[in-house]
Amino acid sequence: MQVYLDNAATTPLDPEVIKVMTETMQDHFGNPSSIHAHGRRARTVVEKARKTIASLLKASPSEIFFTSGGTEADNMAIVRSITDLGITHAITSPLEHHAVLHTLEDLAQRSIIQLDFVRVDKRGHVDLDHLRNLLSQNPRTFVSLMHANNEIGTLTDIYTVSEICQEFNAIFHSDTVQTMGHYEHDLSTLHVDFLTGAAHKFHGPKGVGFIYINGKNKIRPLIYGGAQERNMRGGTENVYGIVGLAKALELCYQNMEAHRAYIQDLKDYMCTELQKNIPEITFNGDITSEGSLYTVLNVSLPCAEIADMLLFSLDIAGISASGGSACSSGSQIGSHVLQALGSDPEKPSVRFSFCKYNTKEEIDFVVKKLKEICEDRG
């Protein structure tokens, strides 16, 4: 059996997405910047996709800009906010994706901003009182906090964060790459300045994403070139990728509650089975349904001897997952997230992440193999 439980890294394409992308490749190959008929047809499908995404998010189409993915979108939000909106101070958490952390750290190292880190608890929840305190000391601050952590799944209440940011006139950016397509994002009620997504996290294609820029914020492009994306992002649009992104998000919104219930049940089932079969196993982050992204489960195993071989052993058994320990092991750099949480550096950790295509039979297989690996090497 081959089991794919690395959906937080990328998801398989939905067949309906493949269909619409294939049709677009065949029928709309023109450059959307060209003024002839072929170009106009390509432009039409791009703008239709933009309207679809804006409608789902309850935003204006003029606030949606297509990018190559979440990393570019995060960089655009951070760099251009700080350079164009008069920002001298930024706040983030030590658990953010490196697309956010490394960008902010580079700006801080070059003395462009002062950078502060908000405290997090052992389950990865942001200390909102500390955030408020940091904001009270620094006017005109840029705040970047992700909706759900990509390694441990812990959720941040971005609605409350947005209210706090409003109170202190701060610019708020949220990386929603892991939650886009899994939760509804209502931008008519969520007061966020920048929000980012990537298609391949919700059964769309790799290499395409988007950034929402609140209409009140006026920033310059990150990538210069042509006049694409209303002069906000140079480069010929990835037409079939954009169409695939919109179709994937549309499908997610159509079936969100059913898929959420199904995947949450898989996650809960795996938690129970792991505890039955490997009693000393521990979970990283918040695993409650209220406080955690239902597609992600991060565990630490009691058998230190298998740390260097865990993912390799799982791969040999036909199981795809992601991992990392809280410390460096040989040439492998440990997880900055687990380090920040104070996880036991001796315990090997693995992230299992689920999607609508996984089954309980697959979970049973994974638990059985994981138990065997621990017993053989532990």
Active site residues: 327
241 and 207 in contact (C-beta within 8 Å)?
A: yes
C-alpha–C-alpha distance, residues 112 and 105, integer Å: 10
31 and 20 in contact (C-beta within 8 Å)?
A: no
C-alpha–C-alpha distance, residues 150 and 154, integer Å: 8
C-alpha–C-alpha distance, residues 321 and 314, integer Å: 8
Task: Indicate the pairing of strand 171-175 with strand 322-323.
Answer: unpaired
357 and 7 in contact (C-beta within 8 Å)?
A: no
Residue 37 is given by DSSP the state: H
Residue of 184, 210, 185 whose CA lies nearest to 199: 210
Distance between alpha carbon 363 and the CA centroid of its chain, in Å? Answer: 23
Q: Is the dihedral of CA 340, 123, 349, 358 positive or negative?
A: negative
Q: How many residues are there in the chain? A: 378
